[in-house]
């Protein structure tokens, strides 16, 4: 078993291109299919991304969604998965060719176990996910019998304590919705089951950087002395970005129908 306490390792890892290349791989795939299923109805939006060949092979009943399959290596297993609502991209998981905040759900099925830089993959997932987007992660459980293995077939892999992945996710402002172990072959899940499932949701924060609570005020028209007076004062939009961050702020514009909107965004 390889447990490296540094997030990034010096040597690259070769990721399998199919669950069939791993011992009991099809059983793992089937267990994850049933584990993900209850959460699919919570996905709002059209764009779904599956990072890694193992993620791409997990069947998900999302007929009205566009699924983007991303893998460093394209194999016949991946091309066989293509349907009219699926796209296949060859790209590095640490540098996703996607614009930010346009993805509604992201799947990382044991992708981190075969990654040289797992923290960067999580950062990329956070970047491309829209507000309230869903992140589905599966890992090999380091407390399972796999603790005695350094390779699965001929694929070296890394293992992570669940608390470590959760700590990374919380630093990226994800809310952990579920964490549980998964068994295979219809066995009861225990502390030593081979798989761990983590479901997280990207939290939405207001644009204001002021940590003080905003207290509601009674509108003027609800005050007795002002009840029958017409308010003709102009609408004033006040800046909501703290001055000390002003050098990192860029004003962007977008359109809602034909109405132009202005919003502020922090530059990374």
Give the range with max mean pLDDT: 112-116, 184-188, 226-230, 242-246: 112-116
Q: What is the DSSP string of 177-222?
A: EEEEEE-STTPPP-TT-SEEEEEEEEPP--S----SPPPP---GGG
pLDDT digits (tens, 9 = 90+) for 65-111: 999 999 999 999 899 999 999 999 999 999 999 999 999 999 999 99
pLDDT of residue 33: 95
Would you say the pTM of this structure is higher than 0.85? Answer: no
- R_g of the chain computed on alpha carbons: 23
User: Which candidate, 105, 102, 129, 117, places its Cα nearest to that of 55?
Assistant: 105
Domain assignments of the chain as residue spans, ordered by start: 19-202
User: Which candidate, 56, 54, 80, 77, places its Cα nearest to that of 68?
Assistant: 56
Q: Using the predicted structure, report yes or no on whether residue 21 has a pLDDT greater than 50.
A: yes
Q: Quote the DSSP letter at residue 88.
A: E
* Confidence bin at 260 (pLDDT 50/70/90): very low
Mean pLDDT of 215-242: 44
Mean pLDDT of 216-222: 47
Superfamily of domain 19-202: Vaccinia Virus protein VP39 (3.40.50.150)
CA distance 240 to 207: 7
Mean pLDDT of the chain: 78
CA distance 172 to 155: 29
- Long-range CB pairs of 121-124 (<8 Å, 24+ gap) are 121/51, 121/93, 121/94, 122/168, 122/169, 122/172, 123/172, 124/93, 124/94, 124/95, 124/96
pLDDT of residue 134: 97
Three-class secondary structure assignment of 2-66: ECCCCCCCCCCCCCCCCHHHCCCHHHHHHHHHHHHHHHHHHCCCCEEEEECHHHHCCCCCCCCCE
Least confident window among 12-26, 160-174, 204-218? 204-218
pLDDT of residue 207: 43
Q: Using the predicted structure, report yes or no on whether residue 257 has a pLDDT greater than 90.
A: no
pLDDT digits (tens, 9 = 90+) for 143-192: 887 776 777 778 888 888 899 999 999 999 999 999 999 988 777 888 88
Alpha-helix runs per DSSP H in 80-157: 118-128
């Amino acid at each position: 078993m390889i447990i490296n306490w540094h997030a990034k390792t010096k040597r690259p890892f070769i990721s399998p291109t199919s669950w069939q290349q791993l011992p009991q791989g099809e059983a793992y795939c089937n267990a994850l299919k049933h584990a993900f299923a209850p959460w699919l109805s919570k996905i709002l939006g059209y764009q779904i991304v599956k990072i890694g060949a193992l993620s791409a092979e997990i069947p998900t009943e999302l007929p009205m969604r566009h699924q983007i399959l991303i893998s460093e290596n394209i194999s016949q297993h991946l091309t066989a998965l293509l349907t009219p609502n699926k796209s296949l991209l060859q790209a590095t998981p640490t540098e996703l060719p996607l614009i930010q905040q346009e993805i509604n759900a992201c799947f990382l099925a044991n992708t981190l176990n075969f990654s040289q830089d797992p923290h960067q993959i999580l950062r990329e997932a956070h970047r491309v996910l829209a507000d309230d987007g869903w992140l589905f992660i599966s890992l090999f459980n380091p407390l399972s019998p796999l603790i005695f293995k350094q390779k699965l077939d001929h694929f070296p892999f890394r293992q992570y304590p669940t608390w470590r992945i959760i700590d990374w996710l919380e630093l990226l402002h994800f809310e952990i919705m579920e964490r549980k172990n998964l068994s295979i072959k219809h066995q009861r899940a225990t502390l030593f089951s081979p798989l761990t499932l983590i479901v997280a949701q990207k939290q939405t924060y207001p644009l204001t950087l002021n940590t003080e609570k905003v207290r509601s005020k009674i509108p003027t028209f609800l005050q007795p002395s002002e009840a029958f007076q017409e308010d003709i004062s102009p609408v004033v939009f006040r800046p909501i970005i703290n001055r000390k961050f002003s050098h990192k702020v860029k004003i962007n514009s977008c359109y809602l129908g034909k109405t132009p909107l202005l919003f502020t965004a922090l530059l990374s």
